[in-house]
């Protein structure tokens, strides 16, 4: 499968995926992106995917002192949060401020750890791995994720995001059978998520990131999922992709940029819902935005045939693999 070959080219020998080819993203890695990319690999070879999860465990272990610091006292500065972006070779955090408060990435990681344990996959290598996962749970308690204003999936304004809260709830629920999850930690997040939905945040009625609440996290009711999809299709779907939210200024050129991975994401969700007509529609839209090498770019400029330099985007290729399986 071409998307698998493309995805693997973005992977270092240590198991870490760089975000994209063709730009400075080729020298940077994100926790969140690596999780989605590993999920893509899981659909082909789960043992191969473990290398990425083990690398992420090593990233957290390297910064264990910082996690302990945050557990002892709720972080009062952005740099005190675990950075979601790191050097793919050294695992060092980048020093500049880059929307470092991204609670969803921790929730997503916990979700996959719990999910793999549930599937009886040996994702934890030793007691050190167990210890760091337990500390990440206590980290979410300390930052008070259920009402913590984080930068969210898009690393932008500090708000309480339903996509962030939902990721943490999903992660904690997956882990509660295997680790110590403090009393009412899940309930606090679940209550906040119910309060926020169907909105993403106080400033956003709908956001592409909310698709994560349906897949992979499956943390919303059927009614909530239907409302999210209805809103995304009504307000965000465009010809070359899905805009992140109304008024998005990132790569804005006569309109909001159209993010390609929205198409395979919707295809996956519709396949799960057994809506084969919509599944095939979005799968075909995914194929249409590929270049002649089968690469999926990060985004196209609004209403154009021109995409940005972040191509291929690993996250997009991984979602395409999942959609095709």
* Stretch among 89-98, 139-148, 173-182, 271-280 having the lowest mean pLDDT: 89-98
Give the Cα separation of 180 and 183 in Å (integer).
Answer: 9
Q: What is the pTM of this model?
A: 0.97
**pLDDT at position 97:** 77
Domain that holds residue 43: 2-324
pLDDT digits (tens, 9 = 90+) for 197-248: 999 999 999 999 999 999 999 999 999 999 999 999 999 999 999 999 999 9
Does 324 have pLDDT greater than 90? Answer: yes
Confidence tier at 99 by pLDDT (50, 70, 90): confident
How many helices and strands (H and E) does the chain possess? 12, 4
Considering its fold, how many domains does the chain have in total? 1
CATH code, 147: 1.50.10.10
Burial class for 245, CB neighbours closer than 10 Å (0-12, 13-18, 19+): buried
**Is 25's pLDDT higher than 90?**
no
pLDDT value for 112: 98
pLDDT category of residue 188 using cuts at 50, 70 and 90? very high
pLDDT, tens digit, 9 for 90 and up, residues 244-292: 999 999 999 999 999 999 999 999 999 999 999 999 999 999 999 999 9
Structure tokens at 107: 């929730």
pLDDT at 126: 98
Question: How many residues belong to the chain?
Answer: 325
Q: What are phi and psi of 11, to 5 degrees?
A: -105, 130
pLDDT digits (tens, 9 = 90+) for 120-172: 999 999 999 999 999 999 999 999 999 999 999 999 999 999 999 999 999 99
pLDDT band with cut points at 50, 70 and 90 for residue 26: confident
Reported as a pLDDT band with limits 50, 70 and 90, residue 23 is: confident
Structure token pair of residue 231? 């809103």
1 band by pLDDT with thresholds 50, 70 and 90:
confident
194 CB neighbour count, 10 Å cutoff: 13
pLDDT in tens, 40-86: 999 999 999 999 999 999 999 999 999 999 999 999 988 899 999 99
- Per-residue pLDDT for 30 more than 80? yes
């Amino acid at each position: 499968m071409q998307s698998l070959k493309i995805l693997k080219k973005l992977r270092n020998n240590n198991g870490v995926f760089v975000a994209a080819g063709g730009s400075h993203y080729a020298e940077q890695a994100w926790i969140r992106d690596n999780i989605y990319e590993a999920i893509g690999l899981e659909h082909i070879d789960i043992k191969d995917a473990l290398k990425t999860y083990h690398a992420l465990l090593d990233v957290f272990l390297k910064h264990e002192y910082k996690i302990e610091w945050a557990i002892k006292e709720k972080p009062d500065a952005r740099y005190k949060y675990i950075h979601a972006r790191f050097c793919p070779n050294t695992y060092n955090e980048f020093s500049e401020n880059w929307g470092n408060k991204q609670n969803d990435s921790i929730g997503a990681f916990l979700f996959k750890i719990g999910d793999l344990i549930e599937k009886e996959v040996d994702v934890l290598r030793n007691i050190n791995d167990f210890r760091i996962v337990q500390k990440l749970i206590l980290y979410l308690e300390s930052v008070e994720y259920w009402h913590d204003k984080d930068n969210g999936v898009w690393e932008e304004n500090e708000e309480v995001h339903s996509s962030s809260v939902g990721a943490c709830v999903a992660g904690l629920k997956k882990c509660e059978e295997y680790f110590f999850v403090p009393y009412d930690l899940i309930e606090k997040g679940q209550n906040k998520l119910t309060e926020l939905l169907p909105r993403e945040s106080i400033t956003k009625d709908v956001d592409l990131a909310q698709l994560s609440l349906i897949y992979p996290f499956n943390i919303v009711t059927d009614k909530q999922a239907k409302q999210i999809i209805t809103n995304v299709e009504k307000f965000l779907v465009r010809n070359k992709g899905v805009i992140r939210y109304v008024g998005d200024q990132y790569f804005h050129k006569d309109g909001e940029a159209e993010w390609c991975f929205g198409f395979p994401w919707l295809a996956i969700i519709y396949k799960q819902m057994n809506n084969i007509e919509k599944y095939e529609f979005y799968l075909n839209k995914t194929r249409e935005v590929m270049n002649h090498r089968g690469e999926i770019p990060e985004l196209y400029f609004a209403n154009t045939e021109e995409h940005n330099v972040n191509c291929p985007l690993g996250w997009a290729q991984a979602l395409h693999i999942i959609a095709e399986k």
